[in-house]
Amino acid sequence: MNERELQDAVGRLPKSIEPPRDLWPGIEARLGEGGGRRARGWYWIPLAAAAALAGVLLGRGTANAPWRVSPLAGLPIVGSAPLRTAGTLRVGQWVETDDSSRALIAVGWIGEVAVGRRTRIQLVVARPDEHRLALARGVIAAKVDAEPRLFFVETPAGTAIDLGCAYTLEMDSLGNGLLHVTAGVVEFEAGSRRAKVPMGALVRTRPRIGPGIPYVEDAPEALRRALDTMDVKGALAAARAEDAISLWHLLQRVDAPRRGQVYDRLASLVPPPPGVTRAAALALEPEALDRYWTLIHRILFRRLILRGVRDIDPRTGTTVR
């Protein structure tokens, strides 16, 4: 590599990187401890104005963009009228397709949602800082290019939270769903239950229960069945190193007495990164879990993007010589 190639590569580095976890709760707690004791004064006004201007200059995020909806096939219904040409989608309006129709929704400036057949979906919130749809049934394919946590899809089983990604989401008439992530990461949340679903992984969702345990696209059938029924013993037996994301989630779902078994199996398949101890993982310490996740996620990512190019060791993410 010469100097120019290096400079070109450096020039393509992203200016913004999503933190591996939400850092706001920690900041908020520290502001409450005294960092935030000072009341906001006059300076807040120019600060807010400057920040807003910065957002406008960045071209995204602070200005309201209209939500547009276009027919892709047949005659989707928007509100109560058939959609013949592209139009504006307003908050509260439903888009409904039948066996022969499909539609495309432009999500403000930040992305688009393809609405499949036999789907019913509503625009709930359209603000620069919150783009929210509600999927009652059917299938959508979402592509979003934005800061994390700007785009949400509510379902009867919980909420899909975009962390910068592309995914499909199917929902049957009973509210059972399947999320399949094709780029980036999606978080699926229902109450206190959360699942982080990276590219190349899926998760089933159920009303009143929330997300199940995510699994990779090529997960063995025996593992999928075991995860569906929370058969821990069966899941541990069926899991491979490639299934580490499932065990990482399982670790946090099982009760304390069984956590050790799950951790030991996970650690035998993908050794933990430096700084992650068994005790910290069993105590579900966020920092330890985050570090383990970063390693597992990186390995999965390398395995997927280098498929057919290099053989990647699923235990370490390194190239197999």
Partner 1 sequence: MAFRDLYRQHAGRVYALCLRLTGDAGAAAERTQDVFVRVWDRLSTFRGESAFGSWLHRLAVNVVLNERRTSGRRERRVTPVADPGLLERSREGEREPTVVLRMDLEQAIAALPEGAREVFVLYDIEGFGHAEIARLVGIAEGTSKAQLFRARRLLRESLDR
Single residue of 113, 163, 171, 216 touching partner 1 by CB under 8 A: 163
Single residue of 76, 108, 198, 211 touching partner 1 by CB under 8 A: 198
What is the widest separation between alpha-carbon atoms in the chain? 62
For the bound state, the minimum distance from the C-beta of residue 316 to partner 1, rounded and expressed in Å, comes to 12
Question: Which residues, 6 or more positions from 306, have their beta carbon under 8 angstroms from its beta carbon?
Answer: 312, 319
Single residue of 38, 192, 255, 321 touching partner 1 by CB under 8 A: 38
Under 8 Å between Cβ of 247 and 233: no
CA angle 186, 190, 194 (to 5 degrees): 50
> Does 287 interact with partner 1 (rule: CB under 8 A)?
yes
Single residue of 180, 259, 302, 303 touching partner 1 by CB under 8 A: 302
> Does 49 interact with partner 1 (rule: CB under 8 A)?
yes
Question: Which residues, 6 or more positions from 195, have their beta carbon under 8 angstroms from its beta carbon?
Answer: 187, 188, 189, 203, 210, 211, 212, 213, 214, 249
Of 177 and 317, nearer to partner 1 (C-beta) is 317
Of 11 and 191, nearer to partner 1 (C-beta) is 11
> Does 314 interact with partner 1 (rule: CB under 8 A)?
no
> Does 39 interact with partner 1 (rule: CB under 8 A)?
no
Binding mask 237-276 for partner 1 (x = CB under 8 A): ------------------------------------xxx-
Single residue of 298, 313, 315, 316 touching partner 1 by CB under 8 A: 298
Single residue of 214, 295, 312, 314 touching partner 1 by CB under 8 A: 295
Single residue of 112, 145, 154, 228 touching partner 1 by CB under 8 A: 145
> Does 147 interact with partner 1 (rule: CB under 8 A)?
yes
> Does 1 interact with partner 1 (rule: CB under 8 A)?
yes
Q: Phi then psi for 250, rounded to 5 degrees?
A: -60, -35
Neighbours of 271 (CB within 10 A): 13
Q: How many residues bind partner 1 (CB under 8 A)?
A: 70
- The residue ranges that bind partner 1 (CB under 8 A) are 1-3, 6-7, 9-10, 12-21, 23-24, 26-28, 30-31, 35-36, 38, 40-41, 43-44, 46-55, 61, 129, 145, 147-149, 163-165, 183-185, 198-199, 273-275, 287, 290-291, 294-295, 297-298, 301-302, 305-306, 309
